[in-house]
Structure 1
Amino acid sequence: MFDELRASAPSAEAALAENDHEVKTHADEAEAERAGDVHMAEVEIDRARLEEIEQAIARLASGRYGICEDCANEIPRARLLARPTAIRCTACQTAAEARRRH
């Protein structure tokens, strides 16, 4: 699946390059560049989600799915239903986010 995401990035850039001869104004150029940036951001988001899913599948295969990586307690079912790729319980996730802010 990563290959599909990687393959879409060059084709998006090529499509933008093909339309270069159609660009008439600076506004058109800016819009074309913005559209390319949005597409690349979408590809990156998809890549990150796919990686999270693949990691969750690996945890499932190893019997570690649903176990908090920080405290080793079970992640509540409600949290896993809301975010199936969660690697931490709510308390540990909150603490991790607080550490990142500081």
Structure 2
Amino acid sequence: MPPTDPDALVPLRVSEGWTISYNAFRAGDLKGNLLQANHTRRNRMLDLGWRPENDPTGAYALVVYVGDFTGPCLYGRNHKRLDELIIDIERLFEAVTRGEL
């Protein structure tokens, strides 16, 4: 559930094996870079940002790559709704941890 405090980080259930390398994910934040997480054992990187940056008509851009930004993109989706985005992030954390993605 999204936080009610606009300065609070959005709480996420992070599965085993993930390292959060960057987290500025706050509800309503329109920054380009919001969250980056890596799963070393599975060689995956999850990245979240707002595109276009600072544009209220934009959307959250969620992607998963093999390795890093230079690797193939395994998953990409844009979200307007924060609640749906949180569900998708947590589902991706689990899928990668289980070796499904």
Q: TM-score, normalised by structure 2?
A: 0.26
Larger strand share, 1 or 2? 2
| Structure (1/2) with the larger helix percentage | 1
**Normalising by the residue count of structure 1, what TM-score does the alignment of the two structures yield?**
0.26
